[in-house]
Structures are given as structure tokens and as C-alpha cells.
Amino acid sequence: MLLTGHKALVTGASRGIGLELARGLLKRGAQVLALSRSGAPVKELEDAYPGRVEFLPADLSRRDHVNALIGTLQSEQPDLSILINNAGVQYELDLFGKEQARMIEQARDEIEVNLTSIIELTTGLLPVLKAQPAAAIVNITSSLALAPKKSAPVYCATKAGLRSFTKTLRYQCEEKAPHVLVVDAMMGLVETDMTAGRGKKMITPERAAREVLDGLQKEKTEIAIAQAALVKVIARIAPSIAERILKNA
């Protein structure tokens, strides 16, 4: 899939992997709709690539923002051809902790951002994507979808749910919109704000984004990045070992 000339929506585009995905798409000749809560880092891309970047402010944890975003994109971006669902949040949750109300609030935030908003945004934009000669949906998942870690129960559950949703979405697109490529980009440890202090064997967001876009250009339906490639193999051959490795990650 040649990315030149495509128009791509990237969520969570103000930092980390999302910012590098936006930058990488621009370098490969695409136009970018950069969605995030904060637009400051996106301004740098707007200055470097005038006329090819548009900042879309939205909070994906809010249903009203998601619904308004879908309506705006349907009416104002009829040539949108690539959707990259990258935005995500992670909290360490102690299910036996004393602050139950706060824990439930954080769990709801994770579910909304990491799963519900993605399902809503994807299904809402399917008619637009289907109308293009060639299109793609890329969902950023995690090796924790295969084997969860105990400190992030809801995050791991949302990534497992997103992986399953991505696969079933692919099945339906194969029947009803075969020109829409559906990609599961499974991340290992990437050096972002989310993973700060969690180990030394991390790759840069730039490398992670490059591997995603390389895989997209090769029309791969699954892209395993960094340690995710090894975890995927171990989980298939010896699931209990994969679980033991990631349990205390």
C-alpha cells in the first residue's frame, strides 16, 4: 500500500508513538489529521509540513466528543482513507485497594479510550473508508493482549478486547469491503510516558512507528513490534510460559 496521497487520521498524535506515526506518514507523502487532547506538539508538524497537517482536538474518554468527531469527519473529510487508532491510557490498579471510587473512575477511562471509543470511531468511519479505492484501519494493541500483567488488569483486558475486535473486523471487511486492510500492530516495550521506569530493553517511538508504517506498506495484517514478536511465538507454543514472563512485567 503506497502511502503517498492518502489522508490518515492518527489518534493520540501529540506524543510518543502517535506523534512519530504522524511524522512518518508525512515523510511518506500522506496528509495527516492529528487527533489529541493537546495540540502543542502538533504545531511543529504543521510548521514543517504546511497544508498537510490538521489538528483535531478531542477527548476520546468523552462520548460527546467522539460522536461530534465522527459527524465532523463524515461531512468534512470524505477522502479519509487511513485510520490509525493509537490513543491509549494505562493505570496500575489495585483491585483490593482502599480508593475504590477512584479505581472505578480510572477503569472506566481505560475502557472508554482503549476500546469503546475505538469501536465507535471505527464503525462510524467505515462508510467513509469503504468509499475509497483503497483504505486501511490500524489498531495499536499490545503483547499484553496475549498474556496480561497483574498490575494493569483493565488495560490488559481492553487490549485483549481490541485484538479480538480487530480480528473480527477483518473477517467482516474480507466479505463486505475487501479493499479495506485491517491491521493489528502489537507493541512490545516502547519508550513512552506510559512505560517510563519499566525496563531498559525498550525501542524508541520512532522505530515503533517506522515498523508499523513499513508493515502497512507491505499490507501485513499483523505486525509484532519489539518483544511482542517473541511473546507471540511463546504464547502460541507455551502459553503458561508467556504468562509467567509477563505476569510481573
Q: Which residues are catalytic?
A: 155
Residue pair 161/118 in contact (Cβ under 8 Å)? The answer is no
Crossing angle of helices 40-48/16-27, nearest 10°?
10
Residue 222 burial class via C-beta count within 10 angstroms: exposed 0-12, middle 13-18, buried 19 and up: middle
Helices (H) and strands (E) in the chain, counts: 9, 7
| Helical ranges in the chain per DSSP H | 16-27, 40-48, 63-76, 100-111, 117-130, 153-176, 205-217, 228-237, 239-246
